[in-house]
Structure formats: C-alpha cells, structure tokens
C-alpha cells in the first residue's frame, strides 16, 4: 500500500513539505493553496512548479494577478531561474490577463489544452479567485467550480489552485470541492508578523495536523515550530 501511495505522488521539493504529506501531492488531484494577502501562495506555488520542472515534469503555470514578466522577475529574486526551463520546454507560463474577456470555461479549456499540448503533469492556476470573481452569482460560481473540477479530474491533471482570502474570511465553496486544502496564515507574534502553514485536508493522505512555521528567503521552507 505504501509503495502505491509513493508512486502516485508528485514531490513538491519544498523543504519540510513532502514529509508532512506522505511524500507529495497525489497525482491527478486538485489541490487548493489558500491564504491571505502576502501569505506566500505565489512563492510556494512557484517553488513547487520550479522544483517539479527541474525534476523532469512538464509544468504549466497560469498567472492572473501578476503578468508573466512580473512573475518571472519575482521568481528570479527568489533564486528560481525560470527562463532556462521555459527555453527547454519544461515550463510554460501563461498570462491569464491576456485571456480576459473570454468566457470562463474558455479560459479553463485553454489551460487544459496547453497542459495536454505540452504533455504537462502539473498545472498551477494562480489564482482561482481571480477567475471566480468573474462569476455574478453564487450559483454561477458553484457551477463553474464544478466544471473546472470535473474537467481537470477527467484529464488526470495534477493541479494547484491558489485561493485568496481577505482578512478573516473563511474558505469558500472551492475548499469543499478540491481534494486538498493547504492554508497559509499571517499571524501576530508580539510586534512581529509571522506566517504559518497547515494542511486542512488532503484526501487519501495521513497528513500532519499541526501548524508549521513558514520561512521566507533565501530558501522558502516549512518547518516545525
Ligand atoms: N525575494 C524575496 N525574498 C524574501 N522574501 C520574499 C521575496 N519575495 C517575496 N517574499 C515574501 O513573500 C511575500 C509575498 O508572497 P506571495 O507573493 O507569495 O504572497 P501571496 O499570498 O501570493 O499574495 P497575494 O494574495 O498578493 O497574491 C512578500 O510579502 C515577502 O514577505
Ligand atoms: Mg500571489
């Protein structure tokens, strides 16, 4: 049993993360990485994308709130050199802003097609909140999330969705639909702001239920308190 679980997982390569989720993210599952502003969603997702591409996976990273160039620049500042991976065809960065005005379903189909074209094994959508904001009603949001979930699942694409939480907000319906929810939280420790990480759920995984400390730069890491 243990061996099958290991084979089916995509290693994140993030220091401290794989060991608390039984070796990595279950392939073909939809993983939500939620958190408030500046809690490290993009930094964590970029690290996973980079590590996976370096390890030989083909990765598609769709960015909405930041342009592709801005994302490349910030990644470089974190020590993640994406340009060479793009040249080698291991990583494709898609600027979702460029698809603005299209139907939501078209955006998602474009991403799925791009992932299939590049024989991609990992798709990151940063952020799904930006897409959901285009929905006018709760019903539309639910229908859209359902269709995103089922199309990604049927293509067996391992996906990381980032989800933005405003201060104090609870995770919305996207958290109930996805296979896993990882939460990044900023919190006050006296006069200092710190960030912690917890796995709220991960279907099929005996994951840690503890809060872990997040270390930003020079190497992003998750560690014990
Ligand atoms: N080069 C760097 N060196 C050290 N820390 C950095 C570096 N780049 C970013 N950070 C840290 O990461 C934080 C931003 O993280 P990130 O952009 O991943 O947040 P986010 O959760 O995606 O936010 P948003 O909701 O705005 O998209 C910064 O506020 C800073 O604390
Ligand atoms: Mg971000």
Question: What are the boundaries of each domain within the chain?
Answer: 2-223
**How many angstroms separate the alpha carbon of residue 65 from the centre of ligand 2?**
7
Q: What pLDDT score was predicted for residue 11?
A: 97
Q: Is 164 in the pocket of ligand 1 (CB under 6 A)?
A: yes
Q: Model's pTM, two decimal places?
A: 0.95
Question: How far apart are alpha carbons 149 and 153 in whole angstroms?
Answer: 6
Give the H/E segment covering residue 181: strand 180-189
* Cβ-contact 63, 71 below 8 angstroms: yes
- For residue 46, the ligand 1 atom closest to its alpha carbon is 18
Q: Whose CA is nearest to atom 25 of ligand 1?
A: 37
Q: Whose CA is nearest to atom 12 of ligand 1?
A: 40
- In degrees, rounded to 5, the angle at the alpha carbon of residue 162 between the alpha carbons of residues 216 and 220 is 15
Handedness of CA 44, 34, 152, 127 (dihedral sign): negative
Q: What phi and psi, each to the nearest 5 degrees, are found at residue 95?
A: -90, 105
**How many angstroms separate the alpha carbon of residue 7 from the centre of ligand 1?**
32
- For residue 164, the ligand 1 atom closest to its alpha carbon is 25
3-state secondary structure of 180: strand
* Cβ-contact 45, 162 below 8 angstroms: yes
Buried b or exposed e, range 197-217, using 16+ CB within 10 angstroms: bbbebbeebebbeeebebbee
Q: What pLDDT score was predicted for residue 5?
A: 47
Pocket test for ligand 1, best of 14, 32, 37, 38 (most atoms within 8 A of CB): 38
Q: Which two tokens stand for residue 198?
A: 């917890």
**pLDDT tens, residue order, the chain (225 aa):** 555 545 599 999 999 999 999 999 999 999 999 999 999 999 999 999 999 999 999 999 999 888 999 999 999 999 999 999 999 999 999 998 777 667 778 888 999 999 999 999 999 999 999 888 888 898 998 999 999 999 999 999 999 999 999 876 778 777 889 999 999 999 999 999 999 999 999 999 999 999 999 999 789 999 998
Q: Whose CA is nearest to atom 16 of ligand 1?
A: 40
Task: Say yes or no: domain 2-223 is CATH 3.40.710.10.
Answer: no
How many Cβ atoms sit within 10 Å of the Cβ of residue 190? 6
3-state secondary structure of 125: strand
Pocket test for ligand 1, best of 32, 40, 71 (most atoms within 8 A of CB): 40
């Amino acid at each position: 049993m243990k061996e099958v679980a290991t084979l089916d997982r995509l290693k994140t390569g993030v220091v401290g993360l794989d060991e608390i989720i039984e070796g990595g993210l279950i392939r073909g599952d939809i993983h939500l990485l939620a958190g408030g502003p500046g809690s490290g969603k993009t930094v964590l997702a970029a690290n996973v994308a980079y590590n996976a591409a370096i390890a030989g996976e083909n990765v598609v990273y769709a960015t909405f709130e930041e342009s592709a160039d801005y994302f490349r620049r910030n990644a470089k500042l974190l020590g993640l050199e994406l340009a060479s991976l793009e040249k080698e065809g291991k990583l494709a960065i898609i600027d979702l802003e460029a698809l603005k005005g299209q139907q939501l379903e078209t955006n998602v189909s474009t991403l799925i097609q791009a992932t299939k074209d590049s024989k991609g094994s990992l798709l990151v959508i940063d952020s799904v909140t930006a897409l959901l904001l285009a929905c006018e009603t709760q019903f539309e949001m639910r229908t859209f999330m359902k269709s995103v979930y089922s199309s990604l699942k049927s293509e067996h694409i391992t996906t990381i969705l980032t989800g933005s939480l405003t201060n104090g907000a609870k995770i919305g319906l996207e958290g109930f639909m996805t296979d896993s929810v990882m939460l990044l939280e900023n919190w006050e420790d006296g006069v200092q702001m710190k960030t912690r990480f917890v796995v709220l759920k991960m279907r099929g995984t005996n994951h840690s239920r503890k809060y872990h400390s997040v270390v930003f730069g020079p190497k992003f890491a998750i560690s014990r308190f």
